[in-house]
Structure 1
């Protein structure tokens, strides 16, 4: 292929990548709008519960129906005992639960340094796995993993960040798949001089993380050809399957009351029932 043809191909590929970025950005924005809209409706008429988090048992007062909407863990807990007044999560970090609560209400993590940490992204993703909140996991993948890697200030892979992902997440998770692909794509060991201090740091880390070493060796070989795992064309490979939020709220509504009862209550002007009936009768 001549240089001119190569440049023409590169130009087309760049244009396609730009279109895909815009498409993904619009999809994420639309998803957040739906998230905020439904969450705002769910809290009307919802009881509030206390969730006690961390070793020091910090109390979070949260709308119960919002928890059951977004988390399979809480949905199961409250379906067993609707009046479960004190749920304790000593193994959960309060900073990470703060992010989860912010995401439930607003569709985003808190924009503050107070909740930041070097391992916030992977710890949030792991919390989403524990709480059975796939939408939260995907938000973390987009906002913490992919976005952080695109940021020029954090473009290169760090020993501590790679190792922390493998400490926080479970085997065969897409978080580990992303990390494995990142390692194979950027290949720090091949770019560093053998025997150098940094090369030794990477080698020692791989010895401490045999799962990562095995995953790198067993991964399907891919020619990244100037692309990276955080690029939009690979995004679907790192997403976990989500539930439809509108359908889930519908199931949650009808699990508590019949359509007949909701219709009768809505006729009296009760706003919780008015909102629920509107959702149930929405255009499919």
Structure 2
């Protein structure tokens, strides 16, 4: 049987997928990594919610909507909620107010539980148009893993513009405005936006003098604006315009790490959450098999011990 691991061009595929290039192997490895992370995310969720108390989160401004969420799960994924619960103390206040739009918080809660955005028929919640806002809320919530999930979603849309630019155009002016106006200076989302403009410069794409060219020209050049984000965009664009991307789009997986926030692996964050409790009591109850929570948490803490001994 012909080898499916070695191709005629000399590339050795370590994935056993008959990939012809190293780039294909790296993309497959990224897909595998994401699937593995998603499985770990859901497995940890299933264990944490067994013993966690719930809290009421009232999201919105005038028309607030109530969400019932497991307290320890929120604290596990968000340093903002972790700090909030530390300040309030367990059981002191089980109702939290946030100004986040309810439909956006629904997406965040869905990610907290399942590692995915909430899927509703026909995108009824308009989540696909709100990823920029979700990324920014991830920053507010001090949840870098959520920000990176949102960033990958943004990059996926950018990639789709390469194959279907009519349905999914990129960059488009309202998208750039949204990414700059909702996030702070030097944010990773702004970085992706300005790099996209550098790679596909709209002042070169559209015919000079056309309506689209004039709209982009007014946004990217001109006198100082009263809007700080516009001035930031113009400054960033002037620095990045003309960069040689060597035909590799800024949203390609080769550049992925350029836009990622530093995050701690979920299993390590759970370690820290567990170790906030008296470790001797957890071990004692786990070994005596008298407490389900302790058994689960001790098993997690010991996950690497057996393999090391073997």
TM-score by length of 1: 0.89
Alignment of 1:99 with 2:104, yes or no, is no
1:50 to 53, 56, 59: 56
Q: Which residue of 1 aligns with 2:93?
A: 84
- Structure-2 separation of matches of 1:219 and 1:38: 42
Q: Which residue of 2 aligns with 1:68?
A: 75
Post-superposition, which runs of at least 4 consecutive aligned residues in structure 1 deviate over 6 A? Answer: none
SS in 2 for 1:210: helix
- Structure-2 separation of matches of 1:25 and 1:134: 20
Alignment of 1:175 with 2:180, yes or no, is no
TM-score by length of 2: 0.82
Q: 8 Å contact 1:118–1:161 — kept in the other structure?
A: no
- Structure-1 separation of matches of 2:168 and 2:236: 23
Question: Can you give the 5+ residue segments of structure 1 that lack an aligned partner in the other structure?
Answer: 1-7, 9-13
Alignment of 1:222 with 2:228, yes or no, is no
SS in 1 for 2:124: helix
Shift of 1:119: 3.8
Structure ranking higher on relative contact order (CA contacts 8 Å, 6+ apart): 1
Shift of 1:46: 0.2
Q: Which residue of 1 aligns with 2:199?
A: 185
Instruction: Choose 179-188 or 107-116, whichever is displaced more.
Output: 107-116
Post-superposition Cα deviations, 1:108-150, rounded to whole Å, max 9, x if no partner, equal 111221222564110110010010000000000112x110111
Alignment of 1:261 with 2:281, yes or no, is yes
Q: Which residue of 2 aligns with 1:240?
A: 261
- Structure-1 separation of matches of 2:233 and 2:203: 14
Aligned residues: 269
Shift of 1:194: 1.4
Q: Greater helix share, 1 or 2? A: 1
Q: 8 Å contact 2:54–2:71 — kept in the other structure?
A: yes
Distance 1:196 1:58, change over 3 A: same
Q: Which residue of 2 aligns with 1:275?
A: 296
**What is the Cα-based RMSD across aligned positions, in Å?**
1.8
Q: Which residue of 1 aligns with 2:178?
A: 164
- Structure-2 separation of matches of 1:244 and 1:75: 16
SS in 1 for 2:56: strand
- Structure-1 separation of matches of 2:88 and 2:250: 43
- Structure-1 separation of matches of 2:268 and 2:25: 30
Shift of 1:220: 8.4
Q: Which residue of 1 aligns with 2:158?
A: 149
SS in 2 for 1:115: coil
SS in 2 for 1:171: coil
Question: Can you give the 5+ residue segments of structure 2 that lack an aligned partner in the other structure?
Answer: 1-8, 10-19, 306-310
Q: How does 1:16-31 map to 2 (within 5 A)?
A: 16-31=22-37
